[in-house]
Amino acid sequence: MSSDPIIRLDGLNKSFPIYEKPMHRLYQMLSPQAHKQRWFRQFQALKNISLTIRKGETLGVVGRNGSGKSTLLQVICGTLTPSSGEVRVDGRIAALLELGSGFNPEFTGRENVFLYGTVLGLTRQQVQERFDDIAAFADIGEFIDQPVKNYSSGMYVRLAFAVAINVTPDILVVDEALSVGDEAFQRKCFARINRIRDDGATVLFVSHSAGIVTQLCDRAVLLDRGELLLDGSPKFVVSRYHKMLYAPPGRIDAIRDEIRNDRDDGGVPTAKPVLSMSSVNQDDERLVASATALPSPCATGLSQGWFDEGLVPQSTVRYDKRGATISMPCVETPDGRRVNVLRAGDDYVYVYRVSFQENAVGVRFGMLIKTLTGVELGGAASSLPQDSLPLVEAGQTIEVRFRFRCLLDGGTYFCNAGVLAHIAEEETYIDRLIDAAMFRVMPQPERLATGVIDFCVSSEVAVASGSEARA
């Protein structure tokens, strides 16, 4: 990634006129210029946003509904003009904004490919050369020669995305449009976005999916009520965003203030960079994950792992409590020994306690294991909703134990803990800890499995043909 800025926003504001009644819009148009009455009030959708995006960055934009994400992207793409402030964009933008933008509904798909391609800066000749690739990616068959007004929303997005990625943009902007496509198409799009990114393009991506933002982006910003609240690593930003999303209504303002003052520690979580039994350079937190400097379990005599006091998560985020408190999250061996350096293939128990300060109905518990960068690997709920605990009374404490087999590659992992209950007929978190506990899995030099999770793959290798020929 280069450090050259490709998009620069400085003190950006965007207001929309809001009319109380549809008629007021008409009155406004008809009201005489000289003593013009104002029939609207201004609604500020973006407030004083300053942001620099560097060439090659993949930026995730998250925030609640109506927080200003689409407005921000549209101002960057030039489809909306800012009310004040400066926008500088140095490159060709291909945008997938909301459905309906870009295409003329009366034209066929083929005609729109040419129309949209030329809007995005290609000559007709260049669109012609790329047409087959575009049609193949969209994969909508003979509908390519039908007017797009007859398309389903999925077909529409397929074609729009196919054009956007084939104009070799410097900047690709995607506003949740992909959630319309089916999963196979989404997978194809993400693979292509990765390729575009690897080729050095800048990608701006709005999504409500924490998993997609953490996997795809290398930076994220949180918008709320038009304000840029937070800018940092995806994992950091998403955890705060979720805290706000699940907050009880009366607490949202306090949480916004808390978040506004929060600072990212630089993106790489979170382990205290001290290994009690190693000489890892404390300046390089990434090394904490590599664990190569650890003693072997045989050397310590602790074949099922051990406890390293230096391994304490520093990225723990607690949602607002609503009558319950999670405490003492940790990993144990099945015989009850506390560990946080684990051996792949062995069984462990993730344990935490929940004390209830208020009566809670329909109670369930959950856990989730994530990678260092926040990718959600897997977890479980303690029961289905219909089997939840009908009532837990104030004053009670419950211990929750999740037994799991450690089928992970060597590295550092983080665990969430959460308690769900029903408040006003809706199931919600009454306490949740993000990065409640962490553990490290020892590296396995003889490992055949590849990737993070070991699916216990077995292989058979045999000569299938060619032996007769040689005989």
Ligand X SMILES: Nc1ncnc2c1ncn2[C@@H]1O[C@H](COP(=O)(O)OP(=O)(O)OP(=O)(O)O)[C@@H](O)[C@H]1O
Q: Which residues of the chain form contacts with ligand X (CB under 6 A)?
A: 16, 18, 43, 45, 63, 65-71
CB of 67 to ligand X, least distance (A): 4
Select 75 or 280, whichever has its Cβ closest to ligand X. Answer: 75
Contact between 101 and Mg ion by CB under 5 A: the answer reads no
Select 238 or 369, whichever has its Cβ closest to ligand X. Answer: 238
Q: Which does 333 bind (CB under 5 to 8 A by kind): ligand X, Mg ion, none?
A: none
In degrees, rounded to 5, the angle at the alpha carbon of residue 83 between the alpha carbons of residues 79 and 86 is 80
**Residue 175: how many CB atoms within 10 A of its CB?**
21
**Cα separation, 44 vs 26, whole angstroms:** 22
The secondary structure element, H or E, covering residue 288 is helix 286-290
Contact 361, 391 (CB under 8 A): yes
Q: Which two tokens stand for residue 185?
A: 């198409």
Q: Which does 45 bind (CB under 5 to 8 A by kind): ligand X, Mg ion, none?
A: ligand X
The secondary structure element, H or E, covering residue 202 is strand 202-206
Residue type for position 388: S
Interacting span for Mg ion (CB under 5 A) from 66-74, 179-187, 325-333, 375-383: 66-74
**Contacts of residue 382, Cβ cutoff 8 Å, sequence gap at least 6:** 364, 365, 366, 400, 402
**Residue 118: how many CB atoms within 10 A of its CB?**
14
CB of 222 to Mg ion, least distance (A): 14
Select 260 or 321, whichever has its Cβ closest to ligand X. Answer: 260
**Cα separation, 374 vs 380, whole angstroms:** 17
Select 93 or 363, whichever has its Cβ closest to Mg ion. Answer: 93
How does DSSP classify residue 387?
Answer: G
**Contacts of residue 54, Cβ cutoff 8 Å, sequence gap at least 6:** 1, 2, 3, 4, 5, 6, 202
**Cα separation, 369 vs 361, whole angstroms:** 26
Q: Which does 67 bind (CB under 5 to 8 A by kind): Mg ion, ligand X, none?
A: ligand X
In degrees, rounded to 5, the angle at the alpha carbon of residue 137 between the alpha carbons of residues 135 and 141 is 50
# binding residues, Mg ion (CB under 5 A) = 2
Distances (CA, A) of 330 to 124, 312, 336: 62, 10, 11
Q: Which does 418 bind (CB under 5 to 8 A by kind): ligand X, Mg ion, none?
A: none
Select 74 or 239, whichever has its Cβ closest to ligand X. Answer: 74
CB of 183 to Mg ion, least distance (A): 21
Q: Which does 232 bind (CB under 5 to 8 A by kind): Mg ion, ligand X, none?
A: none
Q: Which does 382 bind (CB under 5 to 8 A by kind): Mg ion, ligand X, none?
A: none
CB of 81 to ligand X, least distance (A): 12
Select 60 or 362, whichever has its Cβ closest to Mg ion. Answer: 60
Contact 195, 201 (CB under 8 A): no
CB of 71 to ligand X, least distance (A): 3
CB of 192 to ligand X, least distance (A): 23
In degrees, rounded to 5, the angle at the alpha carbon of residue 119 between the alpha carbons of residues 116 and 124 is 75
Select 54 or 208, whichever has its Cβ closest to ligand X. Answer: 208
CB of 174 to ligand X, least distance (A): 13
Select 227 or 454, whichever has its Cβ closest to ligand X. Answer: 227
CB of 48 to ligand X, least distance (A): 15
Q: Which does 56 bind (CB under 5 to 8 A by kind): Mg ion, ligand X, none?
A: none
Question: Reduced to 3 states, what is the DSSP secondary structure of residue 292?
Answer: coil
Contact 31, 24 (CB under 8 A): no
Interacting span for Mg ion (CB under 5 A) from 24-32, 42-50, 61-69, 159-167: 61-69
Q: Which does 459 bind (CB under 5 to 8 A by kind): ligand X, Mg ion, none?
A: none
Select 203 or 354, whichever has its Cβ closest to ligand X. Answer: 203
**Cα separation, 194 vs 84, whole angstroms:** 34
Interacting span for Mg ion (CB under 5 A) from 52-60, 65-73, 333-341, 408-416: 65-73
**Phi, psi dihedrals of residue 201, rounded to the nearest 5°:** -75, 160
Contact between 70 and Mg ion by CB under 5 A: the answer reads yes
- Residue number of the CB closest to Mg ion reads 70
What does the DSSP assignment read for 194-220? HHHHHTT-EEEEE-S-HHHHHHH-SEE
Select 203 or 406, whichever has its Cβ closest to Mg ion. Answer: 203
- Interface contacts to Mg ion, rule CB under 5 A: 69-70
